[in-house]
Amino acid sequence: MRKVVAADGREMDATFHLDPESSAESVELVFESRGGGTRNTEYKDGLKVLLERLRAIGGATIEDAVIDTEATRDSLSESERRIHPRGRSYPISLDAESDVAKLRIALMSAQTGVGRKPGAKGGGNPNKRMRLTLTFPPTTFSSLGAIEDALALGQPPTFLARICWNSAHWVRPTGESRMLETGTYVTEYGFGHEEWLFNLGWVLDNGFHYAYLQPLRSAWERHRGRVIHIRLFTIAPSGERLYVGELRSCEVLTEEQAEVAAREYEKRGWIDEMREQVEAVEGRPKGLLGDPISRFNLRFRPSDATYFVPHQQATSSLLKDAYLRYRLYNWTDELAADFEDSSSARLVPIGPTGVTGKNTGTVHRPGTAPSSYDPVHNILQQELYKILKKAHGASAVTMEEDHVDLKVRLPGKTVFIELKTLPSARLAVRAALGQLLEYSYFRQHSSQNDSAELIVVAPAFADEDEQAYVRLLRTTFNIPISYRTFNREMRAFDLK
């Protein structure tokens, strides 16, 4: 038995289970009855949440629904136990249900007449034990357990998507992939829209980063308006298959949402910046034209994005033999095993004896920021400079003094700020720490009166491990360092 868990994490008093004889594509779901004043008291609300989650999966269908109480099973045929929701016939496509609350009402209302004795008084019981026969598109789920989790917890279905190669951490176009591929969008226009996928400095007032994934294009009709989980992989110039990150609770946009995103990006000048960055790599800005949905088809909160540091190399031949096209693939048990192997392989310690040899060929290590000119960095730096000047006065804030991104002189303290555009707090700290230490301590005398405070700034959110790492640097090594998130929509920045 599973309890339905509400969006706020509260366990609801509404219970269901999946028949163990079901398969992952054709499922018998039993929703328990309400009764006795204490059992399944949130029947109505729990059923609505289940229907909402079924619709969010995409392609789910209710093939049949019957009353499944012991009394009705013993005395009525299956056709007599069938629930006939008003205005609907089986199979019921959840995709076609724009308002699942109305479907919930129809299912409950239709229960009242099933198994009811002639001449019985009252309106009948709309809270009976139901058995729903459900079907899902092939390979949407790998197991019954995955279906139960998706329905009980609201976990979105997981997919795999390929993105083009980018050595700048998918913050801006690099133009590399057009030399690595043939017959793709990248070769035609010299860039891929996903090359801005992890430019987390572009966040709108609602807290979402809007982007585009080519693999979603062919699957957009099926998934629009839904929440999904996407794992990302790329093919390096060496041919290595690398898992590079994942997007949790990623929302596939409707046409209306895409129009809003395009309008806001245009208003903020970000489309102009994209055009300039495409021209800088000798791409064709014409690829930025077209309908909004051809430029923006998903959104996610930066806190729901994980960028793998380092990238995780696939250990099996799975990604070499299949999944090569730019399309959305269902996440399977086979992929999950390959992904888990890739994760554990990079965590195995070398051991006390080290290694006996090293690879002398070209190795792609996107764990260090490229040293080329980064226009995104300069824009973020300028915007943060304006905010700090407004807060502390123009005389207290300098930009590029002694090559320091930003320096703020406060009473008894000088704050050194190094800004990175990297999509991971870990990467940002790695890239900035040496610079900050040199800026603040090289050729400084111990008699200097002002203390130094070092701040690493990037658009990425720091997860628990990254926060713990920064705390360790402060407490164990006494380095006065901290990490802060900054994006283009922020209007204040706290130095404390």
Q: What is the pLDDT of residue 267?
A: 95
- Write out the DSSP string of 234-254: EE-TT--EEEEEEEEEEEEPP
Q: What is the pLDDT of residue 447?
A: 44
Q: What are the structure tokens assigned to 197, written together?
A: 């996928």
Global pTM value: 0.70
Encoded amino acid at 208, one letter: F
Q: What is the pLDDT of residue 139?
A: 59
The Cα–Cα gap between 133 and 170 comes to 43
Q: What is the pLDDT of residue 217?
A: 92
The Cα–Cα gap between 117 and 147 comes to 36
Q: What is the pLDDT of residue 302?
A: 92
Is residue 199 within 8 Å of 268, Cβ to Cβ? no
| Model pLDDT for residues 130-175, shown as the tens digit of each residue | 999 999 887 567 678 778 888 998 877 889 999 999 999 999 999 9
Q: What is the pLDDT of residue 449?
A: 56
The Cα–Cα gap between 253 and 225 comes to 6
**Other CB atoms within 10 Å distance of the CB of residue 463:** 14
Q: What is the pLDDT of residue 326?
A: 93
In three-state secondary structure terms, 483 is: strand
Q: What is the pLDDT of residue 364?
A: 47
Q: What is the pLDDT of residue 344?
A: 43
Q: What is the pLDDT of residue 373?
A: 56
| Model pLDDT for residues 324-336, shown as the tens digit of each residue | 889 999 888 888 8
Is residue 58 within 8 Å of 158, Cβ to Cβ? no
Q: What is the pLDDT of residue 448?
A: 54
- Give the residue from 250, 26, 252 showing the smallest Cα distance to 138: 26
Q: What are the structure tokens assigned to 373, written together?
A: 């000119």
The Cα–Cα gap between 446 and 218 comes to 63
**Other CB atoms within 10 Å distance of the CB of residue 288:** 17
Q: What is the pLDDT of residue 334?
A: 85
Q: What is the pLDDT of residue 225?
A: 80
Q: What is the pLDDT of residue 351?
A: 38
Give me the residues of the chain with pLDDT under 70, please.
Answer: 119, 139-140, 142, 343-373, 444-449
